[in-house]
Structure 1
């Protein structure tokens, strides 16, 4: 669908701009889809049952026996990538690393990839201010309401940063929870930067006019 829309816009003399989405979506659009086997509902359901019954560590050990590199790359809290790797392993019988995402721009397309960055100091200040704002706007009350409705840390949405800390540190003061959210957000931002640096030909800019005009010139010279 995205390819078709890009073709349609280009035919009208309009430069298509793809913004946002997850890192893997952007990587797959630029470089092409990986050749991993299609997901199986039956195997996915079995992996989900194993996760609930035995926990993520058992799945990680299963993956590490066959593909230690893949197991080492997956963050301990990244349940989605862990379970997907197990699905691929059980479906194909092969190490998931064999189906790693492509890293070169796919043929038939020309991309100008732009990433927005900030200094580490500025980013940390903004993260701190964001967490403070979340707390002031009633995040703790939202968590209590969700708990009263029967939701728990087993629900996928509540494993995200900003929610899971309230379950992991349930007995701790709110200041400790706030600090944990801030720390985990900084760690996540670092992982994001590592991932996006792997996008081929990415041009980094800071969100200021001088850098913006520099990129406009870059686009003009490459169009």
Structure 2
């Protein structure tokens, strides 16, 4: 059966549109996580597109913020899925790789936007899926004896938010400092003879309440 050449053109346009959306969302992450009240014009300037073009893709600033949060969550979930495929060969290496990859993918960055737009059920469900996948990875690492047993996936969400708070004026330097503190703090998550933690970790209800004030 011959292929319709138009199929290739359609797939090409779809791939180009997806790449453009990804570029815009990454630009939006840079702008909106450092300036949560940034305008659509500021995001468009960072992305190198016109404001009209931005509005053709995202109907409003709230829509852009919601899609940005979904994009970030999916990126981190993908990192957790990748680590699950590697964890049996090198449990601690896979876990560290997840932490670093998740930070690069925007983990913790959306905290600055929490409560600035209606989260909605889609975003809440995405957060739940992300928490479940992170917990799956964490439980596997705990069962393999490399991660302490008294932390949860929700602790990791808070861990990422703390690292994301590290910020200086230069973007490359900011990323380097975050990696530095990740390297300093990650050993505290490793299984060993550490004393019990003094307070319980956050619950799902507490996490959701931040996004749905």
Instruction: Identify the TM-score tier after normalising by the shorter chain.
Output: under 0.3
Query: More helix by proportion, 1 or 2?
Result: 2
TM-score (norm 2): 0.25
Question: Which gives a bigger RCO, structure 1 or 2 (Cα 8 Å, sep 6+)?
Answer: 1
Task: Normalising by structure 1, report the TM-score.
Answer: 0.25
The structure with the largest alpha-carbon Rg is 1
